[in-house]
């Protein structure tokens, strides 16, 4: 009987203790595949270099757990969303802006692929933000509940949510959403700076 040939095609690269509490979100940078951002119950967003054991940067300022983290495509900015309803955009050295006033926890955040705005998914709404200066361009009412992830495909934002044993998906037509400071008709607008901005 021949001995089977075993080839190792996958292996654990590293295991780290990423936060003082539970890890609630993580994202791997798509440009390099070597930058990892994590969010946790300790109210921090941490940045890691894959294959290095130590955190390269810890971003603080939230007063409640960080529910969601995302990197922009060139891996120059990170956005995080917290349970208290605030989102912060960082340039990997300092906070660039802080958007507050969401009606509930920020469950998922996502940069638009062209970098023109970011999307903030909450319990019953999607908010569209600019960050220099902080502005809410649009609000779309979406009854998606506990949204867990957002993705963009063919000018559609897809949100997936879960509750107990059920999973839901919702689609927002981004051609009908204001993504810049240009005012569009028939959309919910708030072009004023957010409270506390400046």
Q: Does 12 have pLDDT greater than 50?
A: yes
Tell me if residue 166 falls in helix, strand or coil.
Answer: strand
Q: Is residue 28 part of a domain?
A: yes
d(Cα 44, Cα 62) in Å, to the nearest integer? 7
Which residues on adjacent β-strands are paired with residue 13? none
- Contact between 90 and 77 (Cβ < 8 Å): yes
Question: What long-range pairs does 47-55 form, CB within 8 A, spacing at least 24?
Answer: 47/78, 47/92, 48/16, 48/18, 50/13, 50/14, 51/13, 51/14, 53/14, 53/16, 55/18
pLDDT at res. 4: 66
pLDDT at res. 6: 62
pLDDT at res. 111: 93
Q: Is residue 144 part of a domain?
A: yes
Residues of the chain with pLDDT > 70, as a percent, come to 86
DSSP string over 17-36: ---SS-EEEEEE-TTTS-EE
Q: Is residue 82 part of a domain?
A: yes
- CA dihedral (73, 37, 29, 146) positive or negative: negative
Q: What is the band of 162 on the pLDDT scale with cuts at 50, 70, 90?
A: confident
Q: What are the φ and ψ backbone dihedral angles of 20, each rounded to 5 degrees?
A: -70, -25
* Mean per-residue pLDDT, 162-170: 83
- Contact between 135 and 129 (Cβ < 8 Å): yes
pTM: 0.74
* Mean per-residue pLDDT, 110-115: 90
Q: Is residue 16 part of a domain?
A: no
Q: What is the band of 190 on the pLDDT scale with cuts at 50, 70, 90?
A: very low
Q: Is residue 3 part of a domain?
A: no
CA dihedral of 85, 83, 16, 75, whole degrees rounded to 10: -20
Domain count within the chain: 1
Q: Is residue 15 part of a domain?
A: no
Q: What is the band of 8 on the pLDDT scale with cuts at 50, 70, 90?
A: low
Residue-wise pLDDT for 133-149, tens only, equals 888 899 888 888 788 88
What CATH number is given to the structural domain containing 109? 2.130.10.10
Q: Does 48 have pLDDT greater than 90?
A: yes
Q: Is residue 133 part of a domain?
A: yes
Whole domain around residue 171: which residue ranges?
A: 23-193
Mean pLDDT of the chain: 83
CA dihedral of 14, 59, 43, 126, whole degrees rounded to 10: -100
Nearest CA among 19, 24, 48 for reference residue 36:
48
* Mean per-residue pLDDT, 7-26: 83
Q: Is residue 159 part of a domain?
A: yes
């Amino acid at each position: 009987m021949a001995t089977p040939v075993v080839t190792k095609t996958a292996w654990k690269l590293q295991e780290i203790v990423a936060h003082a509490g539970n890890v609630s979100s993580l994202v791997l940078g798509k440009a390099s595949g070597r930058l990892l951002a994590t969010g946790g119950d300790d109210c921090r967003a941490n940045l890691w270099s894959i294959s290095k054991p130590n955190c390269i940067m810890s971003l603080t300022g939230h007063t409640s757990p960080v529910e969601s983290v995302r990197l922009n495509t060139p891996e120059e900015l990170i956005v995080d969303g917290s349970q208290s309803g605030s989102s912060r955009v960082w340039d990997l050295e300092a906070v660039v802006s802080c958007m507050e006033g969401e009606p509930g926890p920020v469950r998922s955040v996502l940069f638009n692929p062209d970098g023109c705005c970011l999307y903030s998914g909450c319990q019953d709404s999607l908010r569209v933000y600019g960050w220099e200066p902080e502005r809410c361009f649009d609000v779309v009412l979406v009854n998606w509940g506990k949204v867990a992830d957002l993705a963009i495909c063919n000018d559609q934002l897809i949100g997936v949510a879960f509750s107990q044993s059920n999973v839901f998906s919702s689609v927002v037509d981004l051609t009908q959403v204001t993504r810049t400071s240009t005012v569009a008709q028939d959309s919910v607008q708030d072009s004023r700076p957010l409270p506390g901005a400046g």
